[in-house]
């Protein structure tokens, strides 16, 4: 699995965190690979340049092929991802509040869902999809996506202090107190909580938990030799039990079960997520 992360164009950096390309070629003779994918802190756009992945909800067990471009809202539940033969994709991760500023849609309306981006961008997205199916390289595909995002800048809602405050909470991986984060937003605690549901789709305490959990999960994917006690400490947990609680909530299983599931697949889909 090859992942390249690009710093966005300067005009995009107030609402886009990263643009990355993902290339996966399964070993000969292997048709499909399934890997766990618990929630991340990001709202994202996924552009598939060849075979879209299939997504399965853990509680249902079935898999559904995804559209060529998927808009991923605020995430809460773990899914399983099935990769078919080869995956060539471009991923856009938005800063907290960035997708809200682009779409003007309260993020709680997109909570825990993935949606066909055609429903939001129409003919423009259809054209992007057609270009990406014929692109000679992922880097060229990244340029096509970046051009699309630059065109959206003119429609952005204005940036507010809450966006910067949530960006700080992101950079601290959820370890900054909610009261301190709210103070940077120039809002009362109640106003801050209400605005968070609009801009990131959830209350700030839940967002902070997902930030901390995501760091722990990515640490295990990238450094499987670390024991879970060390992972909990490095991710900023008060103790091991708090991390286990979050794994049960967001990954649907204890850390040891997730460890076994990852041993059964060659793919590590989150270790390269960067913030």
Distance of CA 209 to the CA centre of its chain: 15
Predicted confidence at residue 170, as pLDDT, reads 96
Average pLDDT, the chain: 95
Q: 59-76, pLDDT tens digit by residue? A: 777 899 999 999 999 999
Predicted confidence at residue 275, as pLDDT, reads 76
Predicted confidence at residue 191, as pLDDT, reads 97
Domains and CATH numbers, the chain: 2-155 (2.60.120.10), 205-263 (1.10.10.60)
**What are the DSSP calls for 155-223, one per residue?**
GPPPP-HHHHHHHHHHHTTT-S-HHHHHHHTTS-HHHHHHHHHHHTSS-HHHHHHHHHHHHHHHHHHH-
How far apart (Å, rounded) are the C-alpha atoms in residues 28 and 268?
19
Minimal CA–CA distance to 257: which of 199, 217, 200, 215? 217
Report the pLDDT averaged over residues 181-185: 96
Paired with 82 in beta bridges are: 34, 54
Three-state SS at 9:
coil
Q: 80-106, pLDDT tens digit by residue? A: 999 998 999 999 999 999 999 999 999
Residue 50: pLDDT band with limits 50, 70, 90 = confident
Predicted confidence at residue 62, as pLDDT, reads 87
Q: 33-45, pLDDT tens digit by residue? A: 999 999 999 999 9
Predicted confidence at residue 29, as pLDDT, reads 86
**Which of 205-216 are b and which e, b meaning 16 or more Cβ less than 10 Å from the residue's Cβ?**
ebbbbbbbbbbb
Report the pLDDT averaged over residues 196-220: 97
Predicted confidence at residue 199, as pLDDT, reads 97
Predicted confidence at residue 27, as pLDDT, reads 85
pTM over 0.85: yes
Q: 244-258, pLDDT tens digit by residue? A: 999 999 999 999 999
pLDDT at 51 over 90: no
Q: 118-133, pLDDT tens digit by residue? A: 999 999 999 999 999 9
Helix 240-250 vs helix 255-263: angle between axes, to the nearest 10 degrees? 60
Minimal CA–CA distance to 198: which of 135, 104, 272, 93? 104
Three-state SS at 1:
coil
């Amino acid at each position: 699995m090859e992942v390249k992360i690009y710093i966005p164009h300067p005009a995009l950096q107030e609402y886009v965190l990263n643009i990355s390309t993902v290339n996966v070629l399964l070993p000969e003779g292997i048709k499909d690979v399934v890997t766990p994918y618990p929630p991340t802190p990001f709202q994202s756009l996924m552009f598939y340049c060849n075979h879209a992945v299939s997504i399965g909800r853990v509680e249902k067990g079935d898999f559904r092929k995804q559209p060529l471009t998927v808009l991923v809202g605020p995430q809460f539940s773990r899914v399983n991802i099935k990769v078919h033969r080869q995956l060539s994709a471009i991923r856009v991760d938005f800063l907290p509040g960035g997708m809200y500023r682009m779409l003007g849609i309260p993020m709680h309306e997109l909570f825990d869902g993935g949606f066909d981006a055609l429903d939001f961008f129409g003919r423009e997205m259809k054209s992007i999809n057609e270009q990406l199916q014929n692109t000679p390289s992922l880097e060229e595909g990244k340029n096509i996506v970046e051009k699309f995002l630059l065109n959206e800048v003119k429609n952005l809602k204005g940036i507010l202090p809450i966006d910067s405050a949530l960006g700080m909470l992101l950079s601290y991986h959820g370890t900054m107190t909610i009261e301190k984060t709210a103070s940077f937003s120039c809002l009362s605690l109640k106003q801050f909580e209400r605005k968070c549901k609009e801009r990131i789709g959830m209350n700030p305490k839940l967002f902070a938990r997902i930030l901390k959990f995501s760091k722990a999960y990515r640490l295990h994917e990238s450094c499987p030799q670390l024991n879970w006690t060390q992972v909990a400490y490095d991710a900023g947990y008060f103790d091991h039990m708090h991390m286990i609680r979050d794994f049960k909530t967001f990954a649907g299983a204890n850390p040891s079960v997730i460890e076994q599931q990852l041993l059964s697949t060659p793919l590590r889909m989150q270790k390269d997520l960067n913030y």
